[in-house]
């Protein structure tokens, strides 16, 4: 594998964040702090796509990208558009992992049907954030059991907590601290997914 530096999570410098906080013009009043500005996300998505494009050169036409709904909606849409030179199938998986609040995951459950006809396919799971690791563990075992040639995972964010760091994942956008974040697909009670950046939520915006 080449370009190994693109596969670990990036960490943003505080000076950069300060600058973007001032210039981000669509700052929502419920957001306490922008953790990952939209420009940083866009640059990182291109770098991840470059690494993925190289690694899956052998899998052309036998690559199945599985965005985990709903959190990876924006991330996956941007990521696959950065890979126009690869033939791939896109099949969704829906996993519910927490009850709509800012609490940590209480386990993962598959909702509805999982992707079909994975025999011999190289599966790339795309998720928004790696937290307890339950979602990735569950999907990896399901896809392996369905005969996938191999299963890898790409997450936009990984929390710097033991459970997340202990979970195998091949591609990571950014490593962030242990706090609840929203935006760029991530929600609180299904809100804030449309924000173009990732930020932390003001306490007043969280209902008990």
Cα–Cα distance, 98 to 132 (Å, whole number): 11
CB 123 within 8 A of CB 143: yes
**DSSP notation for 11-49:** ---HHHHHHHHHH-TT--TTEEEEEE-HHHHHHHHHHHH
Name the binder of 186 from ligand IMP, Mg ion, none, CB < 5-8 A by kind.
Answer: ligand IMP
Looking up tokens 């693109």 gives 6
Name which of residues 11 to 70 contact ligand IMP (CB under 6 A).
Answer: 68
Q: Does residue number 173 form part of the binding site for ligand IMP (CB under 6 A)?
A: no
Give the Cβ contact number of residue 115 at 10 Å: 20
Q: Does residue number 115 form part of the binding site for ligand IMP (CB under 6 A)?
A: no
Site string for ligand IMP, 116-155 (x = CB under 6 A): -----------xxxxxxxxx--------------------
CB 171 within 8 A of CB 162: no
Instruction: Choose the catalytic residue: 55, 78, 131, 187.
Output: 131
Active site residue 131: yes
Nearer to Mg ion, 71 or 134 (CB): 71
The interface region with ligand IMP, picked from 15-23, 29-37, 43-51, 97-105 by CB under 6 A, is 97-105
Give the Cβ contact number of residue 134 at 10 Å: 19
Nearer to Mg ion, 59 or 71 (CB): 71
Shortest distance (Å) from residue 168 CB to ligand IMP: 12
Enumerate binding residues for Mg ion (CB under 5 A).
71
Would you name the residues annotated as active-site residues?
A: 131
């Amino acid at each position: 594998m080449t370009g190994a530096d693109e596969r670990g999570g990036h960490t943003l410098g505080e000076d950069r964040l300060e600058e973007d906080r001032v210039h981000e013009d669509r700052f929502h009043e419920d957001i306490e702090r922008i953790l990952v500005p939209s420009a940083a996300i866009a640059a990182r998505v291109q770098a991840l796509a470059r690494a993925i494009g190289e690694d899956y050169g052998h899998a052309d036409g036998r690559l199945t990208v599985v965005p985990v709904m709903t959190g990876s909606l924006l991330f996956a849409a941007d990521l696959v558009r950065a890979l126009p030179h690869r033939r791939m199938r896109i099949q969704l998986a829906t996993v519910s992992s927490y009850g709509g609040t800012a609490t940590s995951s209480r386990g993962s459950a598959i909702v509805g049907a999982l992707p079909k006809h994975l025999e011999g396919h190289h599966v790339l799971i795309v998720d928004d954030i790696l937290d307890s690791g339950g979602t990735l563990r569950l999907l990896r075992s399901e896809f392996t059991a369905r005969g996938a040639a191999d299963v890898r995972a790409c997450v936009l964010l990984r929390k710097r907590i033991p459970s997340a760091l202990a979970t195998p994942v091949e591609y990571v956008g950014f490593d962030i601290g242990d706090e609840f974040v929203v935006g760029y697909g991530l929600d609180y009670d299904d809100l804030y997914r449309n924000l173009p950046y990732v930020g932390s939520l003001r306490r007043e915006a969280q209902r008990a």
